[in-house]
Amino acid sequence: MGETGSVRGPIRKIVEGPAGYVLEDVPHLTDYIPDLPNFPNPLQDNPAYSAVKQYFVNQDDTVPQKVVVHKAGPRGTHFRRAGPRQWVYFESDDVHACIVTCGGLCPGLNTVIREIVCGLSHMYSVNKVLGIQGGYKGFYARNTIPMTPKSVNDIHKRGGTVLGTSRGGHDTIKIVDSIEDRGINQVYIIGGDGTQKGASAIFEEVQRRDLAVAVVGIPKTIDNDIAVIDKSFGFDTAVEEAQRAINAAHVEAGSAENGIGLVKLMGRYSGFIAMYATLASRDVDCCLIPESPFYLEGSGGLFEHVEKRLKENGHMVIVVAEGAGQDLIAGSIKEKDIEDASGNKLLLDVGLWLSQKIKDHFTTKRNMVITLKYIDPTYMIRAIPSIASDNVYCTLLAHSAIHGAMAGYTGFTVGLVNGRHTYIPFYRVTESRNKVVITDRMWARLLSSTNQPSFLSPKDIEEAKKITNNSPSNINEDKYEDFHSPGRANDTTHLYPALL
């Protein structure tokens, strides 16, 4: 991974108020450069925004992490609300911004790049924006490209990232040297959990050198596994695209004797894509995710469920997240742990393994004729342009990032919390991972829609409840469910909230 450089640990700016109110605030350039000058926000002279009532965000506006509270309960954690501030800490002509994309692909990357470039230009008249090519290592080993509204005009219609991306190669010292040498003072970093950890290290080194450089993260993950935020951009696009694979699996399965359609979807540690694609489709008879261990043989096992569904219906569809059942596969295939360049463990192919296991069981042991079709649309669901709703979401994330950097905030990730755009300290999005909570109602809905076994004994359920009660992701899961709950379905304001 090559994480080098200063390690002072994250600064935690915690502000406490009455009734258990806690603000987990983000750093500001004036925390370590107290005499930094500020200027009136040029947006106030921008004709497009002149009709907006109270355009600037009130300095005291914060957003609660947990919206369901009890009368006597503490008000809990809050995050600073995103949006334009009355005073900025950069003069437009002095801004030299850069953008980098790291980690795996995700629909919407190009939209975020486009909207950072266009937002900086159209809202703040900033025209010096550099694209860093090929991820973190691009800071010191690759070319850079100047980016203008004209050069990025059409990129949101394409999948991937026009800047290229990579894993590994994070060298904090070399990256910050490059930032300093090039005179860059706003760094926009788009990427997943690993990228945000890298961004945090960059911020700490920038601060150690007393540089007036804003370091801003825009969270990206197809797996939707980033903590605190409601959901990540591109996730809805991926779930939508997954429907095509599931439909194909259903058609194939339905056209054969004892047809089984097996679809593998992304989800290294978190099964959100598989869960939402299953719930959306209604053709799926079993969904397997990393958070819910399963077993094959015996009462309550997968084979029993498959046989039952084939007898009842003549065909079935299984959706499996790539991270599911890794312990089972590791037990049957002897293979060394292999990591990618960022240190992420490479997974064994659960789809191929499961296909073989099902075929062996039914043809050899049960003497049944089955027809199994395995569909692996892994990269097809992420290498596509984002759908319209994700495009709007990407735009708001980019604008939040710009407003925050211009206002002098730094060391933060932008994120949607309970439908409001916020600034979240890096450490909060890197210290835990968002996971499907199998004791929550959403997973119960899935079990009831597929009618699959839970694969859990009463003892397992008790254990799972204990773990989730102590886990921060529990908070996030409640919120995620609220975000998608029918009660809010007609209230679209939480989907595309204005920054005010």
Ligand X SMILES: Nc1ncnc2c1ncn2[C@@H]1O[C@H](COP(=O)(O)OP(=O)(O)OP(=O)(O)O)[C@@H](O)[C@H]1O
Ligand Y SMILES: O=P(O)(O)OC[C@H]1O[C@](O)(CO)[C@@H](O)[C@@H]1O
- List, as residue ranges, the binding site for ATP: 104, 167-168, 192-195
- Residue 446 interacts with which of Mg ion, ligand Y, ligand X, none, CB < 5 to 8 Å by class: none
DSSP state of 494: G
Among the listed residues 83, 119, 134, 198, the single contact to ligand X using CB under 6 A: 198
Are the beta carbons of 218 and 403 closer than 8 angstroms? no
Q: How far is the CB of 295 from Mg ion (least distance, A)?
A: 28
The site that binds ligand Y (CB under 6 A) totals a number of residues, namely: 11
Our finding on whether 134 is near ligand X (CB under 6 A) is no
Tokens describing residue 384: 């596509």
Are the beta carbons of 410 and 426 closer than 8 angstroms? no
d(Cα 398, Cα 147) in Å, to the nearest integer? 15
d(Cα 262, Cα 247) in Å, to the nearest integer? 11
Our finding on whether 192 is near ligand X (CB under 6 A) is yes
Residue 228, number of CB atoms within 10 A of its CB? 26
Our finding on whether 450 is near ligand X (CB under 6 A) is no
d(Cα 337, Cα 351) in Å, to the nearest integer? 18
Nearest to 175 by CA among 204, 150, 218, 146: 204
* Rg of the chain taking only CA atoms, in angstroms: 24
Q: How far is the CB of 86 from ligand Y (least distance, A)?
A: 38
Footprint of ligand Y on residues 361-420 (CB under 6 A)?
A: none
Pattern 316-355, ligand Y, x by CB under 6 A: ------x-----------------x---------------
Active site residue 482: no
DSSP letters for 78-122 = EEEEPS--SEESS-GGG--EEEEE-SS--TTHHHHHHHHHHHHHH
DSSP letters for 153-193 = TTGGGSSS-TT---SS---HHHHHHHHHHHT--EEEEEE-H
Pattern 123-162, ligand Y, x by CB under 6 A: ----------------------------------------
Determine the interface stretch with ligand Y among 1-9, 206-214, 217-225, 311-319 (rule: CB under 6 A): 217-225
* Residue 208: its H or E element: helix 193-208
Our finding on whether 168 is near ligand Y (CB under 6 A) is no
d(Cα 429, Cα 412) in Å, to the nearest integer? 9
Our finding on whether 195 is near ligand X (CB under 6 A) is yes
Footprint of ligand X on residues 220-259 (CB under 6 A)?
A: 221
Among the listed residues 85, 197, 268, 309, the single contact to ligand Y using CB under 6 A: 268
- Residues near Mg ion (CB under 5 A): 192-194
Which CB sits closer to ligand Y, 178 or 278? 278
What does the binding site for ligand X look like in residue numbers (CB under 6 A)? Answer: 1, 3, 102-104, 135-136, 167-170, 191-195, 197-198, 201, 221, 342, 344
Active site residues: 223
